[in-house]
Amino acid sequence: MHRLILISLLCIGLRSEAQTLAGSWYGKADVVLDGTFNNYLTQLIIKQKGNKVEGIFGYYFRNGYQSFYVKGTYDPKTRQVTIKDIPVVFYKENSIDGVTCNMSFEGTLRVSKVGSFVRGNFLSDGQYKYTCPELRVLFSLDSLVQEDSVINEGLAKKVWQPSVEDVIVMDDEDGPEIRKATTLPGLTRETVKGPSLDANSLISRFKQRQTIITSELKVSSDSIRVSFYDNGDIDGDSISVFLNGTPVLEKQMISAKATTIYIKLDPSKEFHDLAMFAENLGRIPPNTALMVVYDGDTPQEVFLSSNLQQNGSVRIRKKEVKSQK
């Protein structure tokens, strides 16, 4: 009986050791879309302590290699690993130095007689979900590589950091008040009363173009979140955004990552007009963008097009509240 118990304990110990995520993993990540696209040759070198993991994520794409220091969590019971905030170059880019998408990796460890594998997906964060597709990968364990020797050389950049600044617009009777909000350490919110110093020239150019209202959206909330993405190829489109004729975002290049504005609506106004002014036409005219308006957690999508003669605009109205008898 004692011998059986000892053998059972040894088996449990071996299974637990085999289920650790520590090691060097390699695999090929593919874009989950119809068609043929460049894939990513990926490497994940992990150290594990309890349910915490840290290490290096690296990948080859087209003409180069990128590596980043990452950290995440691992659940031994479910064998699931989660690593957030991994920048991965946009799948349509021609260079490793192109626009990146912020992604999170979610995978599950599988251990068998054949070997150890981690099957999972790279999923885009909310700001990128309309432009950066899912990547599917199967990692295999490379038992010949010692993870400590690679990680301790410090080959990667640290990537877990606060998000970049967004713009908050408080609209009232005196016009929009613009706040550049950031969570980066040591910085505070910068409040700008009204447009920038060269805004008069920008307003003049805006008025010289015809403004076309392409859509009308109805919202329930007193505040909305508006995100702009480059629609189609990332070709250098640059825009300014106007709220009721006042610039609230100036000369901003749009890409696969969302450019986001938070707007507190003035309840005394019947509607609010949000217009996109083309600062340039990019490499592929006209200047086009996907605008996503979040009313609470509900998104409404609008495709806007602007050129050097016209501004694309959306009219936003507050939904009427039906009185209950």
Helix/strand/coil for 268 = coil
Q: What is the dihedral of CA 140, 156, 83, 49, to 10 degrees?
A: 80
Residue 147: both structure tokens together: 């993870």
Q: Nearest CA to 257 among 237, 230, 236, 238? A: 230
Give the pLDDT of residue 6. 41
* pTM for the full predicted model: 0.62
φ, ψ (nearest 5 deg) of residue 71: -145, 155
In this predicted structure, the answer to whether residue 196 has a pLDDT above a threshold of 80 is no
Q: Are 75 and 188 found together in one domain?
A: no
Amino acid at 135: L
Q: What is the CATH number of the domain that holds 145?
A: 2.40.128.120
How far CA 196 is from CA of 120, 155, 228, 247, 250, in Å, comes to 46, 42, 21, 9, 9
Q: Are 101 and 196 found together in one domain?
A: no
Q: Nearest CA to 246 among 317, 166, 173, 165? A: 173
In this predicted structure, the answer to whether residue 204 has a pLDDT above a threshold of 70 is yes
Q: Are 172 and 77 found together in one domain?
A: no
Which tens digit of pLDDT belongs to each residue from 57-74?
A: 988 888 788 888 889 999
In this predicted structure, the answer to whether residue 157 has a pLDDT above a threshold of 70 is no
Which tens digit of pLDDT belongs to each residue from 101-114?
A: 889 999 999 987 77
Name the DSSP class of 96. Answer: T
**pLDDT-derived band of residue 149, with 50, 70 and 90 as boundaries?**
very low
Give the pLDDT of residue 261. 86
Within 10 angstroms of residue 76's Cβ, the number of other Cβ atoms is 14
Give the pLDDT of residue 159. 53
Which tens digit of pLDDT belongs to each residue from 210-249?
A: 999 999 999 988 888 888 888 766 778 899 999 999 998 8
Distance CA 250, CA 199 (A): 9
In this predicted structure, the answer to whether residue 120 has a pLDDT above a threshold of 90 is yes
Structural domain containing residue 246: 166-318
The helix (run of H) or strand (run of E) holding residue 23 is strand 23-31
Adjacent-strand bridge partners of 243: 246, 274
Distance CA 235, CA 214 (A): 23
Q: Are 312 and 192 found together in one domain?
A: yes
Helix/strand/coil for 156 = coil
Distance CA 317, CA 271 (A): 5
Adjacent-strand bridge partners of 217: 316
φ, ψ (nearest 5 deg) of residue 201: -65, -40
Give the pLDDT of residue 118. 94
**pLDDT-derived band of residue 287, with 50, 70 and 90 as boundaries?**
confident
Name the DSSP class of 238. Answer: E
Pairing mode, strands 259-264 and 271-278: unpaired
Q: Are 142 and 277 found together in one domain?
A: no
Q: Are 131 and 41 found together in one domain?
A: yes
Overall average pLDDT of the 51-56 stretch: 91
Total domains in the fold of the chain = 2
Look at residue 4 and tell me if it is in a domain: no
Look at residue 278 and tell me if it is in a domain: yes
Domain final residue, candidates 158, 181, 196: 158
Distance CA 122, CA 23 (A): 19
Q: Are 131 and 46 found together in one domain?
A: yes
Lowest mean pLDDT among 11-15, 67-71, 148-152, 312-316: 11-15
- In sequence order, which residues have a C-beta less than 8 Å from that of residue 263 and are 6 or more positions away? 169, 171, 223, 224, 225, 226, 243, 248, 272, 274
Length of the chain: 325
Which tens digit of pLDDT belongs to each residue from 133-142?
A: 999 999 988 7
Q: Are 192 and 286 found together in one domain?
A: yes
In this predicted structure, the answer to whether residue 165 has a pLDDT above a threshold of 70 is no
Distance CA 257, CA 102 (A): 8
Q: Nearest CA to 231 among 179, 285, 188, 267? A: 285
Give the pLDDT of residue 222. 84
